[in-house]
Structure 1
Amino acid sequence: MPRLRVLALLSALALSACGAPQLSVPVGDVTAANFGDRKPFDWPGQSPDRYAVHGIDVARFQQPLNWGEARVSGVNFAFIKATEGGDLLDPMFQNHWEGAGRAGVARGAYHFYYFCTTPEKQARWFIENVPKTAGMLPPVLDLEWNPFSPTCTLRPPADTVRRNAQTFLSILRAHYGQQPVVYTTPEFYAQNDMGRLRGVEFWLRSTAAHPSEKYPDERWTFWQYTSTGRVPGAAGDIDINVYAGSPSSWDNWLSRRQVR
């Protein structure tokens, strides 16, 4: 069973003051969250604070982190953007990937889906840029509408969305040996009847209500609860997430779901 490390704020500040060393904590050991929020939400009922295992997701919008400081401050896992569509590689992927790995953060890579490119091409692009690495988390497929795309605002019918998603997921599962996790938003989930996807675990966005309110009857493994979080070791706003279970179930989940 992993140890729950409750780290005092004073200790974290002292570490930062001494040159902000790139510390490492073993993957699976749960460190307690010492986070803030620029726009905190007054959670009624089921607050994210009731969950022990917190983590973040990052992309090119986040500059290099002090991953060691983030790790001891409660970043137990990180989903890192790798690719988008069939030809875009996130320029910060390698930096975030290596930094998280050195600090003992359980790390996974995600792909932002592009509705104007075939799922086969997108899956090949992800595989080309994300090496199969022992211990990594399952890959993630990020499914959401992107109305701000300069080149593609296509919104296919729901059955096409689900069919193409299954194609992408199947290719990645065959390569990495793990069924990918699916990230989505309330609007996208409802409009495309994403509950009909079978055999997947969900990472759900819900920043003003518990997922049980936004996604009735859906099971979830990860919950993204804010996009304005503040995490030691990271500059500016950052997305924060929780894992659905206890520290002991996190340990069990890792043992089942890490890539071999």
Structure 2
Amino acid sequence: MRLSNVTAIFLACLTLAGCAANSRPATVQAGRPSEETTGSVAQSAVPVPAADIGDVAAQAAPPQETLAWAGSIPQPQAFAPASRTVGAPVPSDRPIAMLSPDKPEMGTAPQTRSQIYSYGFRDAKPINFGSISPRKLAVHGVDVSRWQAEIDWERLRRQGANFAYIKATDGGDHLDPMFKKNWRRAKEAGLKRGAYHFFYWCRTAGEQADWFIRNVPKEAGALPPVIDVEWNGESSCKRRPSRERVLEKMQVFMDKLERHYGQRPIIYTAPDFYRDNLKGAFLDYPFWLRSVAAHPSKVYPKRKWVFWQYSGSGLSHGVDGRIDLNVFHGDEGDWHDWVASR
């Protein structure tokens, strides 16, 4: 053959190879699960599966934090911290009044009242809360993540878990490897359940909201989504933004979730983060407060709450190791009314 023919054949082969490579579906293997831990920090010795994040494009390195918004926004919203916090109506003591924004319905869910199972948990580090003990409240529940490994949801419910918040995502690219299974099994066992996102301060708020929306189903009857905001010394992200920046990022994330799910997100937080950033802020949002040594009224004065995480060392049938214990702020009637309003 002449040299020109050889060259032409060689170039044609390269072109065909490139087309064949580009015709394959893009796939990505989940990386090592995030090292973030929240609530129950004791890691299970039982291996858990790698996260299945579906058929997605390869994950890029975290973007530089220049703008809070990331991704396409259905409708622009300007952030004005003062207008959302200063002068906002203070919700009443009844938890029902805290979560009644006018939002579109997601679908029709059967309005049947589920059985309430009474408290049956034990605690590895019991606290005497005195006359304001969480045991005096009627509706208890749990929050879980991959660290609880395999859960017997039927036994856990009979032990007193009437609701469950399940770890779904953290940051902009981590999916809890047990989320899909826990989400399905909790519903099958008859628990009311919702999903929570652990917020990274080194990722954009819009990017994190998009990741949560991508992985958490929009289902009628699900509890409101939760944004978990706290300082975590174990995180690879050591950034601690200013209070103003924290409130801005949270607002961006919560606005996006509220538009998508039709429910105002719940804010989960811990005492130190609340003191640094949230005191006096987001008065028109429901709160889930961690307070494992005293009643929330002592740790978060004047803050209204819907859920109280009162223990990180709970023990229960159906779970190996410790589990976070929570309680709803109200009686059984309040609970049924609140769930129906979702």
TM-score category of the 2 structures, normalised to the smaller one: 0.7 to 0.9
Answer with 28-37 or 106-115: which moved more.
28-37
The answer to whether the 8 A contact 1:28-1:250 is kept is no
Q: Which structure 1 residue ranges, 5 or more long, are not aligned?
A: 1-25
The structure 2 residue matched to 1:185, chosen from 270, 292, 298, is 270
Equivalent residue number for residue 4 of structure 1: none
The structure 2 residue matched to 1:119, chosen from 184, 205, 217, is 205
Q: Secondary structure at the match of 1:32?
A: coil
The structure 1 residue matched to 2:115, chosen from 23, 29, 32, is 29
The answer to whether the 8 A contact 1:221-1:243 is kept is yes
Q: Which structure 2 residue ranges, 5 or more long, are not aligned?
A: 1-111
Take 2:307 and 2:258, find their aligned partners in 1: how far apart are those partners?
19
TM norm structure 1: 0.87
Take 1:42 and 1:64, find their aligned partners in 2: how far apart are those partners?
30
Take 1:61 and 1:240, find their aligned partners in 2: how far apart are those partners?
15
Cα 1:174–1:194 change in 2 (3 A) is: farther
Runs of 4+ in structure 1 deviating by more than 3 angstroms, as ranges, are none
Equivalent residue number for residue 210 of structure 1: 295
Equivalent residue number for residue 337 of structure 2: 252
The answer to whether the 8 A contact 1:203-1:224 is kept is yes
Cα 1:194–1:92 change in 2 (3 A) is: farther
C-alpha deviation, 1:73, in angstroms: 1.7
Take 1:36 and 1:207, find their aligned partners in 2: how far apart are those partners?
14
Equivalent residue number for residue 175 of structure 1: 260
Take 2:292 and 2:132, find their aligned partners in 1: how far apart are those partners?
12
Matched, 1:58 2:144: yes
Take 1:140 and 1:161, find their aligned partners in 2: how far apart are those partners?
16
TM norm structure 2: 0.66
Equivalent residue number for residue 191 of structure 2: 105
Equivalent residue number for residue 163 of structure 2: 77
The answer to whether the 8 A contact 2:225-2:265 is kept is yes
Q: Residue type matched to 1:191 in 2?
A: D
Take 1:114 and 1:82, find their aligned partners in 2: how far apart are those partners?
14
| Deviations 1:14-57 (CA, angstroms, capped at 9, x unpaired) | xxxxxxxxxxxx76321101110011112233111110100000
Equivalent residue number for residue 214 of structure 2: 128
Q: Which has the higher strand share?
A: 1
Equivalent residue number for residue 67 of structure 1: 153
The answer to whether the 8 A contact 2:137-2:329 is kept is yes
In the comparison of the two structures, how many residue pairs are matched? 231
Equivalent residue number for residue 16 of structure 1: none
Answer with 27-36 or 215-224: which moved more.
27-36
Larger radius of gyration: 2
Equivalent residue number for residue 40 of structure 1: 126
The answer to whether the 8 A contact 1:115-1:156 is kept is yes
The structure 2 residue matched to 1:233, chosen from 318, 321, 338, is 318
User: Cα RMSD (Å) of the superposition?
Assistant: 1.1
Equivalent residue number for residue 139 of structure 1: 225
C-alpha deviation, 1:138, in angstroms: 0.5
The answer to whether the 8 A contact 1:62-1:235 is kept is yes
C-alpha deviation, 1:161, in angstroms: 0.5
* Identical aligned residues as a percent: 48
Answer with 188-197 or 127-136: which moved more.
188-197
The answer to whether the 8 A contact 1:27-1:105 is kept is no
Q: Secondary structure at the match of 1:30?
A: coil
C-alpha deviation, 1:86, in angstroms: 0.3
